[in-house]
Chains A and B, each alone.
Chain A
Amino acid sequence: MNTPDVPRDGGPERVAPPPGAYRIVGGGVLRGNNHLVEARDVRKSFGQTLALRGATVAAAQGEILAIMGPSGSGKSTLLHCLAGIFRPDSGEVWFERTRLDVRSEAERTRLRRTAFGFVFQFGQLVPELTVADNVALPLLLNRADRKSAYAAAATWLDRLGLSGKGKRRTGELSGGEAQRVAVARALALQPKVIFADEPTGSLDTLTGEKVMDLLTGLAREQGSTVVLITHDARVAAYADRVVMVRDGIVSADLGAAASPAKAIPL
């Protein structure tokens, strides 16, 4: 991103575009401007491989957005750009009406630690620590005092059905339990956005459903936005809105389910 009037590391650009200014930009559609997080015409390459070639997508406050697509479509790269982990080669990433992609590495790291929660396919828990340590860790990194961090960890473990497992090492957990610990760790911060990359990819159907029930139910309860990457339509069906990524662009917005729903047919 080398736009001359935007300082690369000189702090976020504070001026958001006027309401209704959004339109089709690159591959995708922006529908309004109540977005909490969005990517606009984002391109990203790794060497000779063009992973994103103008992807545009946005999620509103409290919305659960699923990004679907086949392997290699660029959906995970898009999530990493939205979360400020990758910096796009061009295009813009916005969070809370400020530019995220122009912030320094240190600022983006701080944001990820304070405002974002993450759930990945294999949990990515710290194996040397106990379950409670893992959940308390992001709170401690945010300078919560030890007592309140562990109290919050215990509460979240309880809400995720993991009471009594706080002292276990993560290696002693089943896949479903480990993933629920990862969800507890993401939610404990009460983040504004939870980024979930194939959160049920390593789980069987029923365990995956339980994780999705908890992740989406609790995120809704506390008003967190969820950006969910999945190739599984049954997982995407937990979202309020589903978009498709293909060949590095957002190729279709599959819309939101009408409410109320029709009865279940036999």
Chain B
Amino acid sequence: MPLTLLGLLEREPSHGYDLKRDYDAYFGRGKQLPFGQVYATLGRLARDGKVTAGDAEPGEGPDRKRYAITKVGRAEVDSWLAEPVEPEPHLQTVLFAKVTLALMLGKPAESYLTAQRAAHMRRMQELTRLKRAGGLVDVLLADHGLFHLEADLRWIDTTSARLTELRTLVNREDSSR
């Protein structure tokens, strides 16, 4: 979540409220991010030099500061986006966030997906080797991993085929904010 918020800040400096609204819209999937968690995260990011907080602006609400990403923060978002996720089952949430953010920021989402595909494929090769050398318990455990990784790969392939459509959607929604 901290890196996703940081990535959202790379578009433009924002208030915590706007960040929460965008996070909920794109990544919340029906589960809203508590305000407290947003501000606590922004506080930690500021402490670590990844964002800067402007002076409090007049108005209602818990925090009227505008946050901006720093050079350190941008570098962290770049390296996070480019690094494949550990190829374990159930990574869709992180990968979805990466792809969506990459499209928002005009970064090469396709090459991130290719890197992820390679990481998944290598893990599947490893599991297949272990399965061939192992006993029945190993076979069953490897099968579980292989089927989940295969499902992820199919999601990666389909998302890759839909990138143009997704880019249009993300950019349209972003420009109408």
Chain A residues near B (Cβ < 8 Å): 70, 213, 217, 233-234, 236-240, 242, 244, 251-252, 254-259, 261-266
Contacts and interface: CB of A to CB of B under 8 A. Distances in A.
Contact of A257 (B122, B142, B146): B122
A254 B130 contact: no
Given A261-B129, A261-B130, A234 B117 contact: no
B124 A264 contact: no
B130 A237 contact: no
A85 to B, nearest CB: 27
Given A264-B141, A264-B145, A237 B125 contact: yes
Contact of B88 (A233, A257, A259, A265): A265
- Most chain B beta-carbon neighbours within 10 Å: one of A213, A265, A266: A265
A264 B122 contact: no
B114 A262 contact: no
B157 A237 contact: no
Contacts of B146: 234, 237
Contact of B128 (A237, A244, A256): A237
- Most chain A beta-carbon neighbours within 10 Å: one of B122, B123, B127, B128: B128
A208 to B, nearest CB: 13
Interface in B30-69: none
B121 A266 contact: no
Contact of B129 (A70, A236, A257): A257
Contact of A239 (B117, B125, B142): B125
B122 A258 contact: yes
Given A239-B125, A258-B122, A265-B88, A233 B150 contact: yes
Contacts of B129: 257, 259, 261
Contacts of A265: 88, 141, 145
Contacts of A252: 114, 117-118
Nearest to B127: A264
Contact count band on B: 20 to 34
B118 A256 contact: no
A213 B124 CA distance: 15
Contacts of B21: none
Interface in B124-177: 124-130, 132, 134, 138, 141-142, 145-147, 149-150, 153-154, 157, 161
Given A252-B118, A265-B145, A234 B124 contact: yes
B122 A238 contact: no
A63 to B, nearest CB: 13
A255 B114 CA distance: 11
27 contacts: A70-B157, A70-B161, A233-B120, A233-B150, A233-B153, A234-B124, A234-B147, A234-B150, A236-B121, A237-B121, A237-B125, A237-B128, A239-B125, A244-B114, A252-B118, A255-B121, A257-B129, A261-B126, A261-B129, A263-B130, A264-B130, A264-B134, A264-B142, A264-B145, A265-B88, A265-B145, A266-B141
A244 B117 contact: yes
A257 B130 CA distance: 12
Given A254-B122, A264-B138, A265-B88, A237 B127 contact: yes
Contacts of A244: 114, 117
B145 A255 contact: no
A239 B125 CA distance: 7
B158 to A, nearest CB: 10
Contacts of B134: 264
Nearest to A251: B114
B141 A238 contact: no
A234 B125 CA distance: 8
A251 B127 CA distance: 25
A231 B157 CA distance: 11
Nearest to B153: A233
A240 B122 CA distance: 9
A258 B154 CA distance: 22
Contacts of A257: 122-123, 125-126, 129
Contacts of B147: 234
A255 B130 contact: no
